[in-house]
A = this chain, B = another copy of it.
Amino acid sequence: MPETIDEQITIEKTKDPKEIPADDDLDFGRLFSDHMFMMEYESGKGWHDPQIIPYQPLEIDPGSSFCHYCQVTFEGMKAYRNEDDEIMLFRPDKNAERLNNSNRRMCMPELDPEFFIKAVKTLVDVDSDWVPSSEGTSLYIRPFIVATEKYLGLKSSDSYKFLIIASPVGSYYPEGLKPTEIKVETEYVRSVKGGTGAAKTGGNYGRSLLAQNQAAEEGFDGVLWLDGRERKYVEEVGAMNVFFRIDDTIVTPSLEGTILPGITRDSVIKILEDRGEEVEERKLEIEELAQAYRNGYLQEAFGTGTAAVIAPIGRIQWEDLNMEINDREVGPLTSEIYDILTGIQRGRIKDKYDWTDKVK
């Protein structure tokens, strides 16, 4: 267990606040709020000096291990403004837990989960004017840890920086949910058993770019990843978890150590089960999916993740097989799950799960 951090977070406010864009002008992840959280770690001393400071460049020694060996972990989460104008987080305890799982896999120091949540809330509170309020908008929060020891030897770093930055983001679907078209990736692999697929670490993402770029050149929105061992089982879609509705049962790949344990994934499973749906977390062969399609049993497909929440899939190309799902329209269950989840997040639907967490 990580040590409790008792230190107060010092706050240095910016003297030069930026102009906050209108909700309609928001992009994703290019503009950052006025402040950032930063905390240092050294072996023997632990995490120390937590502070909120004006958003600014990091001074990184070019010999820092993370520039070379990618000893980094991160999280993605959002702050929403609800209908009572309160700012809410969604299951931040799960982000804290997953960040520590990632840290263990990457040989990095764990963080006190309560302090993690406190740090996120403090930053969001300081930058509360940056939390937009229109439907679909939010303040995207990116906590991350980088190894900073100035050493080119290959070993776990002795020092780290934990940072939190935040970016106001517009609606992912300004014109309503829109199905994506994807191809099954048969050449490149995202992860394999024994690797880091279940950790949120940068290497998994940089490694995925070539397949994504090639798919884009072929006119697809992204790829459906197969397992690295047998190229037989469905794993993720792009950087999201994936769900299929097959013959009225919901199937999602089980967490076998190669798939990111998505917080949206977990929430969707719970909502579906509560609605009385049959949900199967299990290995899913791409051939089974093709067979279901051929037999007319593949009813819906969607990805889940923090950024999009729910991303309906309208078409899956597997070699020569073109699977059009629900006539390339958003499926009824997909749409309903999206409404329930965003409804809970924005406080329109009663949160019986205790998932939302007020910043103040």
Chain A interface residues (CB < 8 Å from chain B):
28-30, 32, 36, 55, 57-63, 66-72, 74, 105-107, 140, 142, 144, 146, 150-156, 163, 165, 167, 187-189, 192-196, 201-210, 212-213, 228-231, 238-239
Q: List 20 A-B contacts (CB under 8 A).
A: A28-B152, A29-B152, A29-B153, A32-B62, A57-B61, A57-B62, A58-B60, A58-B61, A59-B59, A62-B144, A63-B165, A70-B206, A106-B209, A154-B238, A189-B192, A192-B195, A192-B229, A195-B228, A201-B203, A229-B230
Residues of B close to A72: CB separation below 8 A? 67-68, 70, 206
> A194 with B202: in contact, given A29-B152, A68-B74, A210-B105 (CB under 8 Å)?
no
- Most chain B CB inside 10 Å of its own CB: which residue of A62, A107, A195, A228: A62
Residues of B close to A188: CB separation below 8 A? 194-195
Residues of B close to A66: CB separation below 8 A? 67, 202
- In the assembled complex, the Cα of A229 lies from the Cα of B231 at a distance in Å of 10
This protein's copies in its complex: 2
Residues of B close to A196: CB separation below 8 A? 203, 206-207
Residues of B close to A231: CB separation below 8 A? 194
A60 to chain B, nearest CB (A): 5
Asked if A29 contacts B61 (CB within 8 A), the reply is: no
Residues of B close to A206: CB separation below 8 A? 69-72, 106, 196, 201, 203
Asked if B203 contacts A193 (CB within 8 A), the reply is: no
Interface of A is mostly: loop
In the complex, which residue of chain B has the Cβ closest to the Cβ of A214?
B107
Asked if A202 contacts B205 (CB within 8 A), the reply is: no
- In the assembled complex, the Cα of A178 lies from the Cα of B305 at a distance in Å of 50
Residues of B close to A69: CB separation below 8 A? 202, 205-206, 209
User: Which 7 pairs, one residue from A and one from B, show the smallest C-beta to C-beta distance?
Assistant: A203-B203, A29-B152, A70-B202, A189-B194, A69-B205, A192-B192, A70-B206
Residues of B close to A150: CB separation below 8 A? 30
